[in-house]
Amino acid sequence: MVSDNLKTFFKDLTSKRILIIGDVMIDAYMWGKVDRISPEAPVPVVTCTKQDNRLGGAANVAINIAAMGANPILCGIIGNDDKGTLFLKLMQDNHLSNAGICIVKGRKTTIKTRIIGGNQHLLRIDDETTQPLEGAEIVNFSQHLFDLINELKVDAIIFQDYDKGLLTPALINEVIHFANKKDIPVLVDPKKRNFHAYHGATLFKPNFKEFCEGLKVELSKENLQDVYTVAKDFLNSHNIKILLLTMSEKGVMICTTENFHHIPAHVRDIADVSGAGDTVISVATLGIACNLDLKEVAEVSNLSGGLVCEKVGVVPVDKAQLEREVRKYLH
């Protein structure tokens, strides 16, 4: 039987409002067929049959939050360029408010273009600026951000970091300090540049590779006790309550300074891992906001990440499908 907590979780998501702060971007796709190798170089020739533009980065987290039935507030920056205009149109198409989006003149709107032949991801092209936001730009964004938080009742805050320059240590520290005073949970999907900047956060969700690289340690997924020893030291030194470690084929591991749970992966036909981390942090945040116990947070997050890996491209979780999987596996 599914626990009462999980039943309530799926019913009550519509009341939750989640603030997402992070690097937003466009995920562009060129789909096509490959039937020959180029005579100019040993590379496949892709005959393009379809092009598609989707919201990506922190915006994909907002889409996942909305797909689960909750209310996302996306806060990020775009440029005053054609791609920025396209980004705002995509937000409108996805019924997302642009109240948290700031336009920075002269800055590129990030776009990642993926070339896909059949179901094979062949190449990605990134067009972006990663220079950290500074001066009046960061002051204006910070003020806008805190105005939003003060106006709205927020159930949780997500930092979705893609190392594109929006999140600075000073901004991170200000938000966490403010959220902790208001008892708002703060969850983090980190990248390398600010890995050690999230002192005082509620939950920290790196993948296994990011965790090892961030701490400059060599660990084996086979030795969970060693992983937990390092995880516990990290939590203590950074004053973080929970570590949710995604381990790809080994599932997920959720840790506090008192204990840990390891949730194995379910057998899947993996098509594309793009965006799985966005889905995991989204579902984990909603689990924390709905007061699921930590093992349930890990279990539901693990299922959600696996489901989106079965689909090509960056796609949000299907709430109805996830609910069916919860009834199937969590009994």
- Catalytic residue numbers? 278
The dihedrals phi and psi of 101, each to the nearest 5 degrees, come to: -95, 130
Contact of 117 with 33, CB cutoff 8 Å? yes
Kindly report the CA angle at 326 between 320 and 331, in degrees rounded to 5? 150
Closest CA to 112 of 305, 246, 274: 274
Q: Say whether 314 sits in a helix, a strand or coil.
A: coil
Tell me the angle at which helices 135-151 and 169-181 cross, rounded to the nearest 10 degrees: 20
Tell me the angle at which helices 4-11 and 319-329 cross, rounded to the nearest 10 degrees: 180
Contact of 156 with 184, CB cutoff 8 Å? yes
Contact of 308 with 291, CB cutoff 8 Å? no
- Specify the residue for token string 């105005």: 147
What distance in Å separates the CA atoms of residue 179 and residue 267, rounded to the nearest whole number? Answer: 38
Q: List, as own/partner pairs, every contact residues 140-145 make where C-beta atoms lie below 8 angstroms and the sequence separation is at least 24, other chains included.
A: 140/102, 141/75, 141/77, 141/102, 141/166, 141/171, 142/171, 142/174, 144/75, 144/100, 144/102, 145/21, 145/75, 145/100, 145/171, 145/175
Strands 111-117 and 24-37: parallel
User: Running DSSP on this structure, what letter comes out for residue 207?
Assistant: B
Contact of 245 with 263, CB cutoff 8 Å? no
